[in-house]
Amino acid sequence: MYAAGNGPAAFLLRNILFTTAFSLRKILVRDTAFSYYDRRLQGGPASEVFKVIAKEGFPFILGAAAVLLILVVLPGFILVVLAALVLVLFIWFFRDPERNIPSDPHAAVSAADGRVVEVCETELNGVKYKKVGVFMNIFSVHVNRAPFTGTVKSVEHINGKFVNAAKKEASIINERNIVTFDTEAGPLVVVQVAGLVARRTVCSAEAGDLLSTGERFGMIKFSSRVDHYFPMSFEIKAKEDDRVRAGETVIAVYGKDGEKGEDLV
């Protein structure tokens, strides 16, 4: 193996492997404490297995780890370094940290990490909504969470294009999943939009599922966009260019006692 010996290459490789291991440790404990698997994502009762990586990332991570182990034994020092970097990238991309979900039952949180790129009033299927669009770059956490407590009414997949998800037109021309919730405030819609790099939207929720605010329901692989369509009774708190965190950042508040929400900021 390359780690053996005392030559310059062996010394450099030992340092790279040590740095990689140290980086992985920081990633796995970075955002917050470990948590148990969600019942929905686990497909059964919560177990005592620590969850810090989204399950959708395991094929990528294990594949990169297998390639790394092969290259450590076989010739190709530069390839070993590249494989180590790819492994770290996959683990970083598919991280799934816990979030501090607001206790206020009237608060709606962002469904995605990223930057707010659109805040407006619009219509969807003939119904007027307040829209908040969040763009995720490749370095964002890509696990999506329910913005508000409600029952999943439907999940619809729409085929489409793969233009830059930061553009407004991506909401209506790109491939996407449309998840509609029945909430106490009325229909609330979350749209997972595929992007230029992201070609795979994943929704684990099904019609009839009851999701609490901040509960995981899917992810988008390798950067994209999530659009929130809130009923008009919500007051929008988010502004364009705000940085938000899924399940944690309050982007809208439901008008208490059914009163109409205030105007957009």
Q: What are the structural domains of the chain?
A: 8-93 (no CATH), 107-258 (2.70.70)
Cα(73)–Cα(2) distance, integer angstroms: 7
Amino acid type, 121: E
Highest mean pLDDT: which range of 62-66, 69-73, 86-90, 145-149: 145-149
Rounded Cα gap, residues 109 and 147, in angstroms: 5
Residue type at 211 in one-letter notation: L
How buried is 184 (Cβ within 10 angstroms: 0-12 exposed, 13-18 middle, 19+ buried)? Answer: middle
Q: What is the pLDDT of residue 26?
A: 55
Cβ contacts of residue 56 below 8 Å, gap of 6+? 94, 202, 219, 221
pTM of the full predicted structure? 0.69
Distance spanning both ends of the chain, measured CA to CA: 60
Question: Environment class of residue 207 by beta-carbon count within 10 Å: exposed (0-12), middle (13-18) or buried (19+)?
Answer: exposed
Give the pLDDT confidence score for residue 161 in this predicted structure.
79
* pLDDT reported for residue 23: 57
Q: Residue 130: beta bridge partners?
A: 121, 230
Give pLDDT, residue 207: 94
| pLDDT level of residue 33 (50, 70, 90 thresholds) | very low
Q: Which residue has the tokens 């309050």?
A: 250
- Output the pLDDT for position 82: 78
Residue 158 has pLDDT above 70, yes or no: yes
Dihedrals φ, ψ of 24, to 5°? -65, -40
Q: What is the pLDDT confidence band of residue 37, given thresholds at 50, 70 and 90?
A: very low
Higher pLDDT, 210 or 142: 210
The position carrying tokens 């698997």 is 37
Q: For residues 144, 149, 153 and 157, what is the CA-based torsion angle, rounded to 10 degrees?
A: -10
How many angstroms separate the CA atoms of 239 and 262, rounded?
Answer: 14
d(CA 105, CA 262): 18
Q: What secondary structure letter does DSSP report for 97?
A: -
* Average pLDDT of the chain to the nearest whole number: 79
Q: Pick the most confident of 6-10, 55-59, 198-202, 215-219.
A: 215-219
Contact 187, 153 (CB under 8 A): yes
Name the residues annotated as catalytic: 224
Residue 263 three-state SS: coil
The pLDDT value recorded for residue 121 is: 96
